[in-house]
């Protein structure tokens, strides 16, 4: 079965249709259920001895055990303790006996099977019909509910129907005492190793009728765990025995049965840990667990399930993203949002692990994933969750301060990976060296505060984090003699490069951190001087300290390659060899599992494109042409070996009007786990990528931007979708957005406080006002608003003159030059053309000679140009320009030739264009899109509303790269969106028609 076809294309469910032993581990991740506090993998409840248990897992978010971190060669400041989220002892097991036959899917015949994750209800259900080897037939229905309203409670519901041949039904609920780690022992650094010691020790256990209470503590990390299980038998089930084994306690229930009878059984499980309780000596009072179980029993399973459904309804009301026209995609998106909601900590004492609550991959650690990929989603849907995730960061600030000191820096350095706040990365070049975590957290604070308007959060915790992270930066970096602020020896998000100087991402994010800290300080200082005085004195903020941060931010050095006009990933990146992808076989991806780090570090190759990510996160700082160049440089060398890459590539492709790219990257993220694209879902789902899906939709296709106060949208809908809708929290309001191919509709869907609600939004550069009850609909149609003309071969044909000028030069010097060669020079600059001619003749010149011969050819050409006259305008161009003007469509001439103004003058067309681009002001020639992008900018028209007309392949490439509709004239330009044989075919009506068709 193809992975993409494993589940039915249901919008609200993930349904497995047949039992398959091979995928137990993968599906256990996919079918995980959780409530941010408690999580369970989708393991089958049946007894261990029967079908293995590597699929099982019960986790409390943040409940971990530590063990000594071992190094072959240690050094000062290496973390000494490893932390790993514990897979708690299994309390979910329920075995069934039909008379003396044990129910087991691996034996007998599975007649029916259906397991569904009900995302609208927050439940995991299973229905099956099984025939035992001896011919007993039963139906089993089970339901798992990890309650969002009761974070310490899980409900397991069983319903067994005796279809035929069973006389006595026995149910054994087993409660295990030992924690088992299923962490992968293969040498994949993305997983982790198990424990050598027994991580969890039982202090006390009590059997009380149908109930079991357990008190355990971790061997090294000092955490306590209280758990309770209550069994509620219905329909005549009798508690016949309790077997209190050392490692396992069995509660045995039996009932005599006749054909056709149905029996129900509920199992409640409750957990409390010393992380969230603060009783003396970290004890977990029995009364707490007893109370939780008793309340559940007395409320009953049905009520708990109803609660869950209402809870989910509220979630989807705020967070749902609807895509009409693609059920598989719709399913993928909902799955991702649901997994995020199930995994995020909500009490300030835990965060969101890289694998959420779905598995032990990355040891349950928290990374930058939270702030960059998860918080933006919650900030715009459930701001309170975003706040709680940030409160966690505040709660571990003490550890971050201590870590900075170990690293000989001031302020605070957040751990790259951690559970309890202490740095736990065992490989510092791709761990502690990722200082950018500090700036990512600052970014998360800014995103949250801007979205929610919750400025109290700054006083409560945000400002303090901002001060301490800023201090780290000014201590870590330094001002050079030239006054630049530089930061050496760090690793950026792209872990295929390590320990470099001036990582672009790190520097620009640090600049953002520093600047925001100053703004917040200044604001709070003037808004609440008394508070600020206290704050400044408590944090010992020195005179001039915020000014220093601002200066570092403003003088932050950003590496730039001025010959390629792209941002350099770091100081040394551009001087490395490019990775040779042509000789890299498929099976050696991901590179990190198949090449030594030294080999990877030595080359230009990316795990994820951090320059591109920076250009998104700090998008307001850069021009479109810069973003295009950076994207085009880094995209081809990005392997996407990181699950965090494609969503970012999708967002930036959308911004640059590369809609196909945007769609293709997006599809890699939207169903990454359901389709197991990276073949490692068994270790758990990819939480950051899931957040990235939402980012791709809202920031990518809807083109939402919220940098610097102004909210803007620039929607671009893939052709295969009918519509895209979602809601966003805008301070106290909820904005509903629905995008289809005709219209984008903005409306206020609700507001927290009463009063009139009104929002100003920029839609594709135009301001739109939305008010409560007054939605605004804006056309989605792209209209042709400007046409940008190449000169040579489009407006006139000087190629003959070029040919003759080159030919003259060639003949004088004995170079080979033919008409065929001349064709190849279309769209190519003067000196590059000369190089091609010289290469043909095997001649090399000094720079000076090369320059002189170029000048000479130009002088020949200019002589010939003097003969050009209005009659030389190509057929149809005059009328096209006239029609365009009549239709209100702007026109520009974008020629790379410095002779263009003279030619236009001689052609008598000086007044025919709205804009004639100055070739001298252009940094890079075609195929760089600069001249087209600049023309659109000068005409104040979006690129997507422009067409460009070109006769050369390099020109078509430039138009496409600019995100415009490309029109090709002649044989060299057939790759254009619309290709014509000659200029006379160009008419406004055809042009508008073709433009509309794309």
Q: Which residues are catalytic?
A: 495
- Applying CB under 8 A, among 107, 248, 311, 576 the residue interacting with its own copies is 576
SS3 call for 186: coil
- Do the Cβ atoms of 16 and 6 come closer than 8 Å? yes
- DSSP H/E element including 516: helix 504-527
Binding mask 10-49 for its own copies (x = CB under 8 A): ----------------------------------------
CB of 560 to its own copies, least distance (A): 15
Nearer to its own copies, 501 or 618 (CB): 501
Nearer to its own copies, 30 or 407 (CB): 407
Q: Closest by alpha carbon to 96, among 41, 173, 210, 155?
A: 173
Residue 39: HSE in the Cβ half-sphere, 13 Å Cα cutoff: 36
- The secondary structure of residue 103, as a DSSP letter, is P
Asked if 427 interacts with its own copies (CB under 8 A), we say: yes
Asked if 872 interacts with its own copies (CB under 8 A), we say: no
- Segment contacting its own copies (CB under 8 A): 63-71, 928-936, 954-962, 985-993? 63-71
Nearer to its own copies, 82 or 738 (CB): 82
**What DSSP letter does each residue of 478-496 carry, written as one string?**
EE-TTS-EE--SB--S-TT
CB of 602 to its own copies, least distance (A): 4
Q: Closest by alpha carbon to 333, among 651, 11, 118, 648?
A: 11
- Applying CB under 8 A, among 2, 538, 596, 997 the residue interacting with its own copies is 596
Binding mask 74-113 for its own copies (x = CB under 8 A): xxxxxx--x-------------------------------
Q: What is the dihedral of CA 99, 102, 106, 109, to 10 degrees?
A: 10
- DSSP H/E element including 287: helix 286-299
CB of 192 to its own copies, least distance (A): 8
CB of 900 to its own copies, least distance (A): 32
- Applying CB under 8 A, among 242, 594, 626, 987 the residue interacting with its own copies is 594
Q: What six digits make up the tokens of 200?
A: 């969890």
Asked if 69 interacts with its own copies (CB under 8 A), we say: yes
Asked if 72 interacts with its own copies (CB under 8 A), we say: yes
**What are the beta bridge partners of residue 213?**
206, 228
Whether omega for the bond prior to residue 106 falls within 30 degrees of 0, making it cis, is no
Residue identified by tokens 């000068």 is 938
**What DSSP letter does each residue of 548-601 carry, written as one string?**
HHHHHHHTB---EETTTTEE-SSTTGGGSEEP-GGG--GGG-SGGGTS-HHHHH
CB of 836 to its own copies, least distance (A): 17
Nearer to its own copies, 121 or 495 (CB): 495
CB of 335 to its own copies, least distance (A): 29
Nearer to its own copies, 408 or 623 (CB): 408
Q: What six digits make up the tokens of 167?
A: 């006389």
Phi and psi angles of residue 563, each rounded to the nearest 5 degrees, phi first: -85, -40
Binding mask 481-520 for its own copies (x = CB under 8 A): -----x-xx--------xx-x-------------------
- Segment contacting its own copies (CB under 8 A): 70-78, 90-98, 778-786, 899-907? 70-78
- Segment contacting its own copies (CB under 8 A): 6-14, 406-414, 884-892, 932-940? 406-414
Distance CA 845, CA 835 (A): 9
CB of 182 to its own copies, least distance (A): 18
- Do the Cβ atoms of 471 and 412 come closer than 8 Å? yes
Query: Which residue blocks in 727-829 are alpha helix, DSSP H?
Result: 799-813, 819-824
- Segment contacting its own copies (CB under 8 A): 41-49, 113-121, 569-577, 735-743? 569-577
Q: Closest by alpha carbon to 36, among 331, 385, 278?
A: 385
Nearer to its own copies, 115 or 486 (CB): 486
Q: Closest by alpha carbon to 43, among 97, 105, 99?
A: 105
SS3 call for 520: helix
- Segment contacting its own copies (CB under 8 A): 425-433, 634-642, 781-789, 845-853? 425-433
- Segment contacting its own copies (CB under 8 A): 427-435, 695-703, 786-794, 967-975? 427-435
CB of 552 to its own copies, least distance (A): 14
Where does residue 161 rank: exposed (0-12), middle (13-18), buried (19+ CB within 10 A)?
middle
Asked if 844 interacts with its own copies (CB under 8 A), we say: no
Nearer to its own copies, 575 or 866 (CB): 575
Pairing of strands 915-916, 890-893: parallel
- Applying CB under 8 A, among 2, 538, 540, 575 the residue interacting with its own copies is 575
- DSSP H/E element including 871: none
Asked if 671 interacts with its own copies (CB under 8 A), we say: no
- Segment contacting its own copies (CB under 8 A): 405-413, 620-628, 685-693, 872-880? 405-413
Nearer to its own copies, 116 or 425 (CB): 425
CB of 362 to its own copies, least distance (A): 10
Residues of span 205-234 touching its own copies by CB under 8 A: none
Asked if 857 interacts with its own copies (CB under 8 A), we say: no
Residues of span 144-203 touching its own copies by CB under 8 A: 187, 189
Q: What six digits make up the tokens of 156?
A: 């397991």
SS3 call for 937: helix
CA angle 783, 786, 790 (to 5 degrees): 135
Asked if 475 interacts with its own copies (CB under 8 A), we say: no
| Residues near its own copies (CB under 8 A), total | 49
Asked if 601 interacts with its own copies (CB under 8 A), we say: yes
Give, in order, the Cα–Cα distances in Å from 646 to each of 127, 604, 664: 36, 18, 9
Distance CA 127, CA 706 (A): 46
Asked if 408 interacts with its own copies (CB under 8 A), we say: yes
SS3 call for 145: strand
- Applying CB under 8 A, among 138, 293, 407, 894 the residue interacting with its own copies is 407
CB of 402 to its own copies, least distance (A): 13
Q: What six digits make up the tokens of 316?
A: 């989807």
- Applying CB under 8 A, among 361, 431, 640, 646 the residue interacting with its own copies is 431
Distance CA 755, CA 770 (A): 14
CB of 80 to its own copies, least distance (A): 8
Q: What six digits make up the tokens of 356?
A: 């959420």
CB of 841 to its own copies, least distance (A): 21
Residue identified by tokens 């760089």 is 928
Distance CA 936, CA 240 (A): 81
Nearer to its own copies, 257 or 507 (CB): 507
Q: What is the CA radius of gyration of the chain?
A: 33
What residues make contact with its own copies under the rule CB under 8 A? 69-79, 82, 187, 189, 406-408, 425-433, 478, 480, 486, 488-489, 498-499, 501, 571-572, 575-577, 592-599, 601-602
């Amino acid at each position: 079965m193809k992975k993409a076809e494993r589940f039915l294309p249901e919008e609200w469910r993930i349904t497995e249709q047949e039992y398959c032993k091979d995928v137990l581990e993968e599906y256990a991740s996919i079918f995980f259920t959780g409530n941010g506090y408690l999580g369970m993998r989708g393991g089958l409840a049946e007894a261990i001895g029967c079908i293995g248990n590597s699929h099982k897992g019960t986790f409390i978010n943040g409940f971990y055990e530590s063990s000594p971190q071992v190094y072959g060669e240690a050094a000062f400041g290496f973390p000494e303790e490893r932390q790993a989220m514990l897979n708690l002892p299994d309390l979910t097991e329920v075995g069934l006996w039909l008379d003396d036959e044990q129910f087991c899917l691996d034996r007998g015949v599975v007649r029916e099977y259906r397991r569904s994750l009900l995302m609208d209800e927050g439940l995991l259900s299973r229905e099956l019909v099984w025939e035992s080897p001896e011919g007993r037939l039963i139906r089993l229905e089970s339901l798992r509910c990890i309650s969002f309203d009761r974070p310490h409670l899980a409900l397991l519901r069983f319903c067994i129907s005796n279809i035929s041949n069973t006389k006595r039904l026995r149910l054994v609920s087993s409660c295990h005492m030992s924690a088992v780690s299923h962490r992968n022992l293969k040498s994949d650094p993305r997983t982790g190793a198990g424990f050598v010691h027994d991580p969890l020790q039982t202090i006390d256990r009590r059997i009380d009728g149908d109930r079991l209470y357990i008190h355990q503590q971790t061997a090294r990390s000092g955490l306590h765990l209280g758990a309770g299980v209550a069994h509620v038998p219905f329909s005549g089930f009798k508690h016949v025995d309790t077997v209190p084994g050392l490692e396992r306690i069995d509660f045995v229930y039996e009932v005599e049965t006749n054909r056709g009878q149905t029996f129900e059984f509920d199992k409640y499980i409750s957990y409390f840990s010393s992380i969230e309780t603060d009783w003396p000596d970290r004890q977990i009072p029995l009364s707490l667990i007893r109370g939780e179980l008793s309340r559940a029993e007395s409320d009953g399973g049905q009520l708990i399930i109803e609660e869950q459904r209402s809870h989910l309804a509220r979630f989807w009301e705020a967070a749902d993203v609807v895509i009409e026209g693609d059920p598989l995609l719709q399913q993928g998106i909902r799955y991702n949002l649901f997994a995020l909601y199930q995994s995020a900590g909500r009490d300030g004492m835990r965060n969101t692990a890289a694998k959420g609550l779905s598995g032990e991959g990355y040891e349950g650690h928290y990374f930058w994933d939270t702030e960059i990929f998860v918080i933006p989603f919650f900030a715009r849907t459930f701001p309170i969750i975003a706040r709680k995730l940030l409160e966690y960061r505040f709660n571990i600030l003490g550890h971050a301060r201590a870590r900075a000191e170990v690293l000989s820096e001031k302020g605070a350095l957040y751990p790259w990976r951690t559970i309890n706040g202490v740095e736990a990365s065992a490989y510092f070049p791709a761990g502690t060296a990722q200082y950018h975590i500090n700036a990512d957290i600052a970014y998360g604070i800014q995103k949250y505060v801007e979205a929610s308007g919750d400025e109290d959060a700054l006083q409560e915790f945000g400002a303090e984090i901002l001060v301490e992270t800023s201090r780290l930066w000014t201590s870590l970096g330094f001002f050079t003699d030239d006054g630049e602020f530089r930061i050496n020896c760090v690793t950026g998000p792209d872990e295929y490069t390590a320990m470099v100087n001036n990582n672009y991402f790190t520097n620009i994010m640090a600049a953002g951190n520093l600047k925001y800290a100053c703004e917040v300080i200044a604001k709070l200082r003037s808004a609440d001087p008394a508070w600020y005085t206290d704050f400044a004195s408590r944090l010992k903020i020195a005179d001039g300290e915020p000014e220093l941060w601002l200066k570092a931010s403003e003088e932050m050095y950003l590496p730039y390659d001025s010959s390629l006009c792209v941002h350099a990933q770091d100081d040394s990146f551009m001087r490395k060899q490019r990775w040779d992808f042509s000789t890299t076989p498929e099976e050696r991806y991901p590179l990190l599992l198949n090449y030594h780090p030294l080999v990877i570090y030595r080359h230009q190759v990316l795990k994820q494109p951090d320059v591109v990510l920076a250009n998104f996160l700090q998008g307001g700082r850069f021009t479109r042409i810069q973003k295009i160049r950076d994207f085009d440089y880094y995209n081809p060398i990005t392997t996407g070996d990181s699950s965090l890459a494609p969503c970012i590539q999708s967002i930036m492709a959308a911004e640059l009007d590369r809609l196909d790219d945007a769609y293709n990257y997006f599809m890699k993220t939207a169903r990454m786990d359901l389709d197991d694209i990276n073949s490692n879902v068994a270790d758990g789902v990819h939480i950051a990528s899931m957040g990235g899906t939402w980012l791709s939709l809202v920031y990518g296709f809807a083109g939402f931007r919220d940098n610097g106060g102004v909210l803007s949208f620039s929607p671009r809908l893939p052709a295969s979708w009918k519509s895209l809708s979602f809601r966003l929290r805008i301070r106290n309001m909820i904005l509903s957005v629905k995008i289809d191919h005709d219209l984008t509709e903005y409306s206020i869907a609700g507001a927290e406080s009463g009063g009139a609600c009104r929002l100003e939004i920029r839609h594709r550069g135009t301001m739109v006002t939305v008010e409560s009850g007054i939605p605004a609909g804006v056309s989605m149609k792209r209209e042709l608003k400007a046409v940008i003309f190449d000169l040579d071969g489009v407006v006139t044909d000087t190629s003959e003159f070029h040919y003759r000028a080159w030919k003259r030069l060639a003949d004088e010097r004995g170079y080979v030059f033919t008409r065929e060669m001349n064709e190849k020079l279309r769209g190519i600059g003067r000196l590059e053309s000369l190089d091609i001619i010289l290469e043909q003749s095997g001649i090399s010149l000094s720079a000076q000679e090369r320059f002189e011969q170029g000048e000479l050819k130009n002088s020949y050409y200019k002589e010939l140009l003097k003969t050009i006259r209005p009659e030389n305008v190509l057929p149809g161009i005059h009328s096209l320009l006239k029609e365009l003007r009549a239709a209100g469509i702007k026109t520009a001439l974008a020629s790379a030739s410095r002779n263009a103004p003279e030619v236009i003058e001689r052609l008598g067309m000086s007044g025919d264009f709205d804009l004639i681009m100055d070739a001298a002001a252009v940094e890079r020639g075609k195929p760089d899109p600069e001249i087209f992008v600049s023309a659109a900018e000068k005409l104040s028209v979006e690129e997507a509303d422009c067409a460009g007309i070109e006769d050369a392949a390099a020109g078509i490439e430039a138009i496409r790269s600019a995100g415009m509709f490309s029109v090709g004239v002649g044989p060299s330009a057939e790759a254009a969106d619309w290709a014509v044989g000659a200029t006379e075919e160009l008419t406004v009506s055809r042009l508008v028609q073709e433009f509309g068709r794309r």
